[in-house]
Amino acid sequence: MSNQALPRPRFNAPEPERGTKAALKIEAKTGPLLQGKVSEVPDALFAGAMRLCGLAIVALLGLIVYQLIEGSQLSWHAFGWKFFGQSDWNPVEDQYGALPFIYGTVVSSILSLIIAVPLAVGVAVFITEMCPVRLRGILSFTTELLAAIPSVIYGLWAIFVLVPIMREYVQPFLGKTLGWTGFFTGPSYGIGMLAAGTILAIMIIPIISSISREVLVVVPQHQREAVLALGATRWEMIRMGVLRNARAGIVGAVILGLGRALGETMAVTMVIGNRPEIAKSLFAPGYTMASVLANEFSEATGDLYLSALIEIGLALFLVTIVVNALARLMVWSVTRGQPAKGMA
Amino acid sequence: MSSNLAVIPQIVVPPISWRRRATDRLMTGVAVLTVILVLLPLFAIFAYLVYKGIGSINLAFLTQTPKPVGEPGGGMANAIVGSMVILGIASLMGVPLGIGAGVFLSEYGRNRYGDAVRFVSDVMNGVPSIVIGIVAYGLVVLRQKHFSALAGGVALAIMMVPTIARTTEQMLLLVPQSIREAALGLGVSRWRTTLSITLRTATSGIITGVMLAFARVAGETAPLLFTAFGNQFWNKDINQPTAALSLQIFTYAISPFDEWHRQAWAGALVLIVLIVSAVAAVRLAVRHGKLAGA
C-alpha cells in the first residue's frame, strides 16, 4: 500500500504492451464492461490458491509442532520434567536426562557471544561510521560472504586449522595465564567447549554485524550532528549519539545471533568432543542438544531412545522460537518495521 | 567586537583534552582491529579451502564412487549427483509454494492474516535445521520405513519456503502500484495482472531471492543426516538412501584417514564452487534477459 504515494504512472514502465494486448483480446470477445463478470471465477480461484500457499506456511509450522510433540510423548510420560534436570544419558539402560546437552548448548552459545559481540559491533560501527565510502560496499559484502559458507565447511576448517591452533598455542597460553580461574584447566585436547565457542563466534559474526549495521544506519543523522556540534570527538559521537540510540536494536541483533548459535549443528558437532559431561573447564569436551541429535538420531534403537531425542529437538525448537521472536521484536522497535535485509 | 567573539568561544568550548583525543584514536584503532580480526578467518577459510582442495580434485574424484577404507582413489561422483537430485526435489516443492506465499503476502496479505503469515515465516527462518530434519523424518522416513532422497528433499523444501516467501514479497512490493493500476484499468483481470504484470516485472528480484534460498540449503548437512542418510554407491531411486556432498564431507572429515580428509577438502571446494556457480549462472541469465520479464 505504501506505493500509492508514488508519482503518476511511468509510461515507459516495463512491458506495458503485454497488458494492453491481453486487454484488447478480452475486449474483442466481451467488451470491457462485461469483463468483470467473466473473470470473477478465475480471479477467485487464483486468490484462493495464493491464500492456500500463505496458509501452507502456517500449516508447516503447525506440522513441525505436531510432529515434535507427538514424537516426544513417550519420553515425556516416562520422565516428565525430570528429563531436563537429570545428567544421566545412558541408552543401554534406557535412562535419559538432557542436562549435559542443555548445559553444552548454553555454555557454547554464551561463549560464542562473548567472543562475537564486540567484534561484530566493532565491524558494524566501523562500516557505518568510520569507513571510507569506497571500502564500505566491499567490506559489507565480504562479511556477508562469511554467512554463505556452509556449516559443514566451517567444521572441516575448524578440525584441521582451528583445533591445532587451540591445542598448540591458545590453550597452553590461557592455561598459564588464566588457569587459576578454573575455566581454563586440564589437558589441551584442542577439541572441546572453547573450540566450539570460537567456531560458533566466527559463524554468527556476519549475522550480528549485518543487522547491527542496519540498526545503526537508521539512527537519524541529526543525532550525530547534534552531538558533534556540542564539541564531541568522533568516538564520543558514536557512543552517545549512535550506540545509545541503537541499543535495543543491537541487543536484538545479538539475540538473533544467539538464536543461530543455539541451533547450529554441524560445525559444533565436529569440534566439541561429543561427551555428555558437565565440566567447569572450557578445555573439556562437551555435547550440545543439536549435536546429540546429529550423532545419535539415525542410530537410535528403541522407541524411548528416539522419543528422548525428539524431546530434545522439541526443547531446542521452543527455545529458538522464543529467542527469535524476542529478537525480531527488538530489532523491529528500532527499524520500525522496515524489512531488515540481513534476516531474510 | 571581533576580539570579543574570539574570546567567548574559548570560555564556552574548552579545547578537546588529550585524554578524549586519545580515547578517540584508541577506539578508531579498536574498530579497525575488529575488522581485521573478522576478515582473518574468512581469508583463512577460503585460502585453506582452495589450497587443500585444488590438489585433491582430479577426474577420478568427479567420476568415481567412494572406495572402501584403505584403498586410495575413488571420488564423490554419486554424492555430487545425489546433492543435485535432493536439491532438485526440494526446489520443485519449495519454490512454487514459496513464491505463491510471497504473492499472497504482497497482493492479498495486507491485513491481519498476512501479518500472521509474515510473523510465522520469520519465526520459521530461525528454526534450527536439525529440527526440520526430525520433522521430515517423522513425515517421510517413518512412513516409507527407510531413508530416501525424497525425505531429504522435503526437509530442504521446508527450509526454503519461508525465505522465498519473504523475499518474493519484498520484491513484489517494489513494483509500483501504478503499473498494477494501469493493467487493471485496461480491463485485465486481477490474476492476469498479478501473473503477467507484477510477477514479470519483479522476476529478476524473485529469482535472486530463490537463489539465495537455494544457496542457503545447498550446503545443509544436519537435516540430511537422518533423511537422505548417505550412500556409498550409485542410486537412481529417489526412494532409497542417497549420498549428498555435504554428508560425505562430514563423514570424511570426522574419519581418522588422511585419504578421506583429502577428499573432504576436495568435496568442500566442489560444494562451494557448485553453489557459487549456480547462483552466478542464474544471475547472468537474468541479466541477459532470458528469464527477465522486464
Per-window interface: B 135-164 vs A, CB < 8 A: 135, 137-139, 147, 158, 161-163
Provide the pLDDT confidence category of residue B107 given band limits of 50, 70 and 90: very high
Residue B240 located in a structural domain: yes
Of B42, B125, B188, Cβ closest to residue A145: B42
Q: Which is higher by pLDDT, A328 or A289?
A: A289
Q: Does B219 touch chain A (CB under 8 A)?
A: yes
Q: pLDDT (tens digit, 9 = 90+) per residue, A43-90?
A: 899 999 999 999 999 999 999 999 999 999 999 999 999 999 989 899
CATH number at B210 reads 1.10.3720.10
Which of A296-305, A331-340, B74-83, B285-294 is predicted least confidently? Answer: B285-294
Across chain B, what does the average pLDDT equal?
88
- Whether the Cβ atoms of residue A142 and residue B38 lie closer than 8 Å to each other: no
Return residues 49-68 of A near B (CB < 8 Å): 49-58, 60-61, 63-64, 67-68
Cβ within 8 Å of B, A 179-198: none
Find the CATH number of the domain harbouring A222: 1.10.3720.10
**Banded pLDDT at A188 (limits 50, 70, 90):** confident
What lies within 8 Å, CB to CB, of A257 at 6+ separation is A113, A116, A117, A120, A204, A205, A207, A208
What confidence score (pLDDT) does residue B12 get? 59
- In this prediction the pTM is 0.85
- pLDDT greater at residue B30 or residue A301: B30
Partner B contacted by A71 (CB < 8 A): yes
Q: For residue range B41-57, what is the model confidence (pLDDT) as tens digits?
A: 888 998 999 999 998 88
Average pLDDT estimate for B107-115: 90
Q: Which residue has the higher pLDDT, A31 or A177?
A: A177
Print the domain residue range for B244: 76-287
- A203 vs A112, A132, B126, B266, CA distance in Å? 9, 26, 15, 21
Select from B20, B103, B250 the Cβ nearest to the Cβ of A233: B20
Is A227 inside a domain boundary? yes
Is residue B271 situated within a structural domain?
A: yes
Helix residue spans in chain A (DSSP H): 16-30, 35-38, 40-79, 99-125, 133-148, 151-157, 163-165, 171-178, 193-217, 221-229, 234-236, 244-263, 266-271, 289-296, 303-335
For the segment B254-259, the average pLDDT, to the nearest whole number, is 89
- What is the number of structural domains in chain B? 1
- Give pLDDT, residue A51: 93
A44 found inside a domain: no
Put simply, the answer to whether A290 touches B128 (Cβ < 8 Å) is yes
* A245 band by pLDDT with thresholds 50, 70 and 90: confident
Instruction: Provide the pLDDT for residue B199.
Output: 93
Flag whether B114 is in a domain.
yes
Query: Which chain B residues touch A159 with a CB distance below 8 Å?
Result: 253-254
Question: At residue B260, does pLDDT exceed 60?
Answer: yes
Instruction: Indicate the residue of B135, B193, B268 with minimum beta-carbon distance to A64.
Output: B135
Specify the pLDDT at position A339. Answer: 45
Domain assignment present for residue A86? The answer is: yes
- Tell me, rounded to whole angstroms, the distance of Cα A140 from its chain centroid: 18
pLDDT over 90, % of chain B: 53
In a domain, A26, yes or no: no
Domain annotation covers residue A6: no
Confidence band for B11, pLDDT divided at 50, 70 and 90: low
What pLDDT shows up at residue A66? Answer: 95
Asked if A297's CB is within 8 angstroms of B134's CB, the reply is yes
Structure confidence at residue A160 (pLDDT)? 94
Percentage of chain B exceeding pLDDT 70: 93
- Nearest by CB: A122 against B30, B192, B225: B30
Residue B245 has pLDDT above 80, yes or no: yes
pLDDT on residue A336: 62
Q: ipTM score here?
A: 0.87
Residue B133 belongs to a domain: yes
Range 149-168 of A in CB contact (< 8 A) with B: 149-157, 159-161
Q: Within a domain: residue B16?
A: no
Q: Per the structure block, which three cell numbers stand in for B3?
A: 576580539
Give the model confidence (pLDDT) of B77-103 as tens digits. 999 999 999 999 999 999 999 999 999
Which residues of chain B are within 8 Å of residue A16 when distances are taken between CB atoms? 179, 182
Confidence class for position A195, pLDDT limits 50, 70, 90: very high
Check residue A9 and give its pLDDT: 46
**Residue A37, min C-alpha distance to chain B (Å):** 10
Predicted local distance difference test score (pLDDT) of residue A31: 46
Any domain includes A229: yes
**Beta-carbon count within 10 A of A18 CB:** 16
Number of compact structural domains in chain A: 1
Contacts of B117 in chain A (CB under 8 A): 54-55, 57-58
CA distance A110 to B249: 28
Report CB contact under 8 Å: B226, A298. yes
In chain A, the residue whose alpha carbon lies closest to the alpha carbon of B98 is: A53
Arithmetic mean of pLDDT, A239-254: 90
Residue A154 lies in a domain: yes
pLDDT in tens, A91-101: 988 899 999 99
Q: How confident is the model at residue A11 (pLDDT cuts 50, 70, 90)?
A: very low
Report d(CA B77, CA B66) in Å as an integer.
8
- Residue A60 has a CB neighbour count (10 Å cut-off) of 22
Which pLDDT belongs to residue A341?
A: 41
Tell me the pLDDT of chain A averaged across its residues. Answer: 85
Residue A41 near chain B (CB below 8 Å): no
Q: A50 to chain B: which residues are within 8 Å by CB?
A: 100-101, 103-104, 107-108
Count CA atoms closer than 13 A to B211's CA, side-chain side: 19
Cα nearest neighbour of A48 on chain B: B104
B58–chain A nearest CA distance, Å: 20
Domain assignment present for residue A149? The answer is: yes
Q: What integer pLDDT is reported at residue A38 of this predicted model?
A: 54
Domain span at residue A130 reads 80-343
List of chain B residues whose C-beta atoms are within 8 Å of the C-beta of residue A262: 128
pLDDT digits 0-9 by tens, B144-174: 888 999 999 999 999 999 999 999 999 999 9
Residue A20: per-residue pLDDT: 52
Residue B15 counted as domain residue: no
* pLDDT of B105 over the 70 cut: yes
Nearest to A18 among B49, B134, B196 (CB): B196
The confidence score (pLDDT) of residue B55 equals: 86
Place of cell 532409497: B240
pLDDT category of residue A261 using cuts at 50, 70 and 90: very high
- Contact between A63 and B139 (Cβ < 8 Å): yes
pLDDT of residue A231: 87
- Closest CA of chain B from A183, distance in Å: 24
| Greater pLDDT, B278 or A163 | A163
Residue B81 lies in a domain: yes
Q: Which residues are CB-contacts of A34 (< 8 A; sequence separation ≥ 6)? A: none
Nearest one of A4, A11, A117 to B176, comparing CA atoms: A4
- Closest among B286, B277, B42 to A140, alpha carbons compared: B42
